[in-house]
Structure 1
Amino acid sequence: MTYTVEQALKWIMKSNEKIQNNKDYLSELDQAIGDGDHGINMARGFDEVVKKIDGNDYAQVSDVLKDVAMTLMSKVGGASGPLFGTAFLKMSMAVKGEEAVTYDTFVTALEDAVAGIKQRGKAEEGEKTMIDVWSPVAERMKDADDFAASVIRDNAKSSMEATKDIVATKGRAAYLKERSKGHLDPGSVSSYYIFEALAESLREEA
């Protein structure tokens, strides 16, 4: 199975729906351990993304992902814009030239996204950041042979839930030290919505 422009557009539209529907929840999570504006920022950014890509006639998946990246970088406030923007930009570069993206190329794109997030955020796994969802999903997909919606969704969900037990050592949450434990990482939760949306965009085509 390959990943198409149509699926990529569905992925982003569904990501936007989930983030809009949960923006207050995301900001509540962020109020506990961050600046409190993660939901508002992500919702604003994805709203702009949808305006940018809706109705456009894209030839390649990479063109969709590049527009997503550039819009997130310019429209999302705080650290989230550069980090999520970098993830989509790295993916767009990895799939460039492929009209329908093969599974192996898609996995490489995700691995490149993880590397980009790490470099941009100066963070690693286990520090209570969005990497704690992106990295395990990329690893799990590397072990599989083809797109499996349930594998992506379930892995993203369990990885997101696991951030509750991590003590933050990066970002604003790191100031709380031990008190950051017991709270979900907002960036990991919004990442979960993005991967849940990816799973749904795959399931519809299956």
Structure 2
Amino acid sequence: MTACAAYVEREEDRLTELDSPIGDADHGGNLRRGFAAVTEALAAEQPATPGEVLTGAGRRLVSKVGGASGPLYGTLLRRTGKALGDTPQVSREELAEALATAVDAVAQLGGARQGDATMLDALYPAVEGLRTSYAAAAEAAEGGAAATEPLQARKGRASYLGERSIGHRDPGAASSALLFAALAEVAG
């Protein structure tokens, strides 16, 4: 989680820049604030299991990140943590299975699907890549984020722009790719 926070902090301006033409220009700042709160909470109290880390991080993101990103990322992390349970160590394969369940929950919460130019376009390929390796997950997430550029957004604030959303990378997909890049750096 601390690596995720570092990635988000480093890329805050780029995430906000991506959000400016199709959103409300707050994605980078909101995520930075949320992940800073996560690292602060982890420094104050070390959870015993990976599931507890993710569940707690998800709760913090819901409480600290505005807009849709808080509930969506919060759901992703909380559901992953819940799926992992109290297992003290988690394999890459177990993480992939837990994330698959969590990404489906995010899709249900947002009413979106892959191809709608949302974070799901990075998350679904990342989960599939994770079945192979951490590096494959990061590469797939980045490819999925890039693939949102030619799409017309069908969900989220960008969908209000209709065809004008074409040509813009989805900020949620871009931030999702950052999280998998951090995971690959730490676990890979």
Shorter-chain TM-score range: over 0.9
Does the alignment pair 1:71 with 2:60? yes
Q: Which residue of 2 aligns with 1:111?
A: 100
Q: Which residue of 1 aligns with 2:159?
A: 174
CA contact (8 A) 1:20 1:43 kept: yes
Superposed displacement of residue 134, structure 1: 0.6
Q: Which residue of 2 aligns with 1:150?
A: 135
Q: Which residue of 1 aligns with 2:36?
A: 47
Q: Which residue of 1 aligns with 2:86?
A: 97
Distance 2:107 2:31 in 1: 19
CA contact (8 A) 1:15 1:193 kept: yes
CA contact (8 A) 2:126 2:139 kept: no
Q: Which residue of 2 aligns with 1:199?
A: 184
Distance 2:28 2:104 in 1: 24
The one-letter code of the counterpart of 2:135 is S
The runs of 4+ residues in structure 1 deviating greater than 4 Å are none
CA contact (8 A) 1:164 1:183 kept: yes
State the TM-score, normalized to the length of structure 1.
Answer: 0.88
Structure with more contact order per residue of length (Cα contacts < 8 Å, sep ≥ 6): 1
The one-letter code of the counterpart of 2:15 is L
Does the alignment pair 1:184 with 2:173? no
Q: Which residue of 2 aligns with 1:125?
A: 114
Superposed displacement of residue 55, structure 1: 4.7
CA contact (8 A) 2:128 2:137 kept: no
CA RMSD, 1 decimal: 1.1
68-77 or 105-114, larger mean C-alpha shift:
105-114
Residue-pair matches, total: 188
Distance 1:139 1:155 in 2: 8
Superposed displacement of residue 177, structure 1: 1.1
